[in-house]
Amino acid sequence: LFFINKSINKSTKKPTFYIDIKSELLRDILRVIFQNMRIISLIKNMPLV
């Protein structure tokens, strides 16, 4: 369904996570839901948008 990739910035050493969604239907649905959002944080109990 999806893969999570982690990339570490060489200068700041901070990780960035990317979610590769394999399901085209799920990808299209999420694209519509999140179309006006630039950053989404799932670290807290409640997602931060």
What is the tens place of the pLDDT at every residue in 1-49?
A: 888 999 999 999 999 888 899 999 999 998 898 888 877 776 767 655 5
Write the Ramachandran bin of 5: left for phi over 0, alpha for psi from -120 to 50, otherwise beta: beta
Query: What pLDDT is attached to residue 18?
Result: 86
pLDDT of residue 36: 84
